[in-house]
Amino acid sequence: MMALSSSRIPVAVVNGTGYGGVEILRLLRRHPMFELVEVTARSEVDRPIEAVFPHIPGDVMAFGEEVTRAELVFVALPDDAAVERVPEYLRAGRRVVDLSAGFRLRDRALYPRWYGYEHPAPALLESAVYGLAEWARDELPDAQLVAVPGCYPTAALLPLLPLLAANMIEPDVIVDAKSGVSGAGRTLRLSSHFSEVNEDVSAYGLGGHRHLPEIRQQLERAADSSVRLTFTPHLVPMTRGILATSYATPRPGVTLDDVRYALELAYCGSPFVWVMEQPPHTKWTLGGNLCYITPAWDAESERLILVSAIDNLVKGAAGQAIQCANLMYGLDEAVGLPREGVYP
**Residues forming the active site:** 151
CB 222 within 8 A of CB 165: yes
What distance lies between CA 281 and its chain's CA centroid? 18
Cis peptide before 344 (omega within 30 of 0): yes
As a whole number of angstroms, the distance between CA 22 and CA 113 comes to: 30
Specify the 3-state DSSP secondary structure of 95. strand
As a whole number of angstroms, the distance between CA 199 and CA 178 comes to: 14
The 3 state secondary structure assigned to 171-186 is: EEEEEEEEECHHHHCC
As a whole number of angstroms, the distance between CA 223 and CA 162 comes to: 9
Q: From its phi and psi, is residue 12 left (phi > 0), alpha (psi between -120 and 50) or beta?
A: beta
